[in-house]
């Protein structure tokens, strides 16, 4: 017997509304009460704060988790001022040691208050935490909260990388602002040496930990659960070296010209002109290292390896069609391997495709309003979570971009990404 109009009298109704995105973006085995504390550890200028901020951004945006960093240096500056000499960090100076412990305890206290609040949340305690005694105190203090704790230790024994970190990350901070660069560098080195004298490397007595050595070697010990494993996966893709990526929308497409969304149309004449100009930019800017002679002012331009990513759609591929794919005879990776590098060897990625509009694909917004007035109204109410019938929502797009972010994090070379406009 064929079904009648009311064949589904008790439909499955999701609380977010019809066609909305009922996604638990935290996924996996993560419950609504799971909490994680990340305790950063390592000598100064090993990239702790950089990595802490990377982790926090990743968890808060892609996993929609309440994440907050508690930087002990910020608390120390509020209590005792930003300009503190290297002698302040001498562990034999009992008075200064007590002040530093006071700043640590203030940060720990506020982290604990944050972690006591309801819901999934991640707190990051960003400090050197160089002594095992301090790390034991932190773990003991957190015990009653019944949250998972991971220690992330950053180790750097390459002098050129340490110097790079000091000069690029520390010299611009409030502590050394307007100070002679060489004097500031020497002061920070003395501060670092004070910590070396008392440093206890992380080991099994610290419980779950991730040890990052020169951003090349990773030791993972006793980490379990959804959240800790997500952190492990992300950290293994992060590095502290500077890199740049360029974002370009595709050139004007035939659908752009008539106001249609989605589809897989080619470029207009204006779009092809844009693609030619983008090719010049890629050749002269993206794929070139430019060094300026301080004395003569002359620029030295040297080719550098560069990558090209597009979506799988015709309009982005055509936008990249004029970019030259020349060869760099040999290129040496940081692990010592040598390869023959092809510049801008295109990689089409489905993750970069435009939001799929399902039954509305290929229509103008006016046509959607006329043909599907209820869907049009639902989308206007909440564009973030609204999912087109048989299509996607912005939340879906965000989730499929997670792997792209991981690839960007681990890539060392400049990347030119030719993508799509987010439909308004």
Which are the catalytic amino acids? 126, 156, 250, 354
Q: Measured at the alpha carbon of residue 93, what is the angle toward residues 90 and 99, in degrees to the nearest 5?
A: 90
- Tokens 């200028």, residue? 45
What size, in residues, is the chain? 424
Q: Which whole-number Å values give the CA distances from 419 to 247, 315, 320, 367, in the listed order?
A: 7, 9, 10, 25
Pairing of β 299-303 and β 288-292 = antiparallel
| Cβ contacts of 30 within 8 Å, gap of 6 or more | 120, 225, 226, 227
DSSP 77-142: HHHH-S---GGGG-TT-HHHHHHHHHHHHHHHHHHHHHHTSSSSEEEEEES---SHHHHHHHHHHH
Count of beta carbons in the 10 Å neighbourhood of residue 74: 16
SS (H, E, C) 201-249: CCCHHHCCEEEEECCCEEEEECCCCHHHHHHHHHHCCCCCCCCCEEEEE
Say if residue 424 is exposed, middle or buried (CB neighbours under 10 Å; 0-12, 13-18, 19+). Answer: exposed
Q: Which whole-number Å values give the CA distances from 20 to 146, 226, 341, 383, in the listed order?
A: 34, 25, 45, 9
- What is the C-alpha R_g of the chain? 26
Q: Running DSSP on this structure, what letter comes out for residue 359? A: G
Q: Quick check: 362 and 260 in contact, CB under 8 A?
A: yes
Residue from 154, 151, 153, 147 nearest 66 by CA: 147
Q: Quick check: 241 and 184 in contact, CB under 8 A?
A: no
């Amino acid at each position: 017997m064929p079904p009648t109009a009311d064949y589904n009298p008790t439909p499955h109704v999701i609380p977010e509304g019809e066609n909305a995105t009922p996604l638990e973006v935290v996924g996996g085995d993560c419950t609504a009460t799971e909490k994680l504390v990340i305790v950063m550890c390592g000598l100064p200028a090993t990239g702790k704060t950089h990595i802490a901020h990377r982790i926090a951004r990743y968890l808060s945006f892609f996993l929609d988790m309440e994440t907050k960093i508690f930087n002990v240096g910020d608390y120390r500056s509020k209590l005792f001022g930003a300009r503190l000499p290297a002698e302040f960090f001498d562990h034999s100076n009992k008075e200064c040691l007590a002040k530093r412990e006071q700043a640590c305890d203030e940060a720990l206290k506020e982290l604990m208050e944050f972690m006591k609040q309801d819901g999934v949340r991640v707190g990051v305690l960003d400090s050197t935490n160089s002594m095992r005694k301090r790390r034991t105190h932190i773990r003991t203090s957190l015990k009653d909260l019944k949250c998972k704790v991971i220690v992330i230790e950053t180790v750097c024994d390459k002098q050129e990388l340490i110097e790079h970190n000091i000069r690029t990350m520390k010299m611009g901070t409030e502590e050394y602002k307007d100070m002679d660069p060489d004097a500031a560098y020497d002061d920070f080195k003395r501060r670092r040496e004070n910590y070396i004298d008392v440093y206890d490397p992380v080991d099994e007595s610290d419980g779950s930990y991730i040890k990052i050595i020169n951003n090349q070697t990773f030791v993972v010990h006793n980490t379990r659960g959804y959240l800790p494993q997500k952190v492990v996966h992300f950290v293994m893709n992060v590095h502290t070296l500077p890199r740049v990526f360029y974002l370009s929308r595709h050139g004007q497409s035939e659908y752009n010209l008539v106001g249609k969304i989605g589809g897989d149309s080619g470029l207009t004449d204006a779009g092809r002109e844009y693609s030619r100009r983008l090719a010049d930019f890629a050749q002269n800017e993206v794929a070139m290292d430019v060094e300026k002679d301080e004395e003569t002012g002359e620029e030295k331009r040297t080719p550098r390896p560069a990558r090209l990513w597009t979506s799988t759609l015709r309009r982005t591929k055509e936008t990249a069609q004029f970019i030259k794919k020349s060869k760099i005879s040999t290129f040496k990776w940081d692990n010592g391997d040598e390869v023959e590098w092809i510049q801008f060897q295109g990689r089409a990625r489905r993750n970069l495709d435009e939001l799929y509009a399902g039954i509305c694909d290929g229509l103008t917004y006016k046509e959607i309003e006329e043909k599907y007035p209820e869907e049009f109204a639902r989308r206007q109410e909440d564009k973030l979570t609204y999912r087109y019938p048989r299509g996607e929502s912005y939340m879906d797009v965000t989730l499929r971009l997670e792997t792209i972010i991981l690839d960007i994090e681990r890539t060392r070379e400049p990347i030119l990404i030719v993508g799509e406009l987010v439909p308004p």
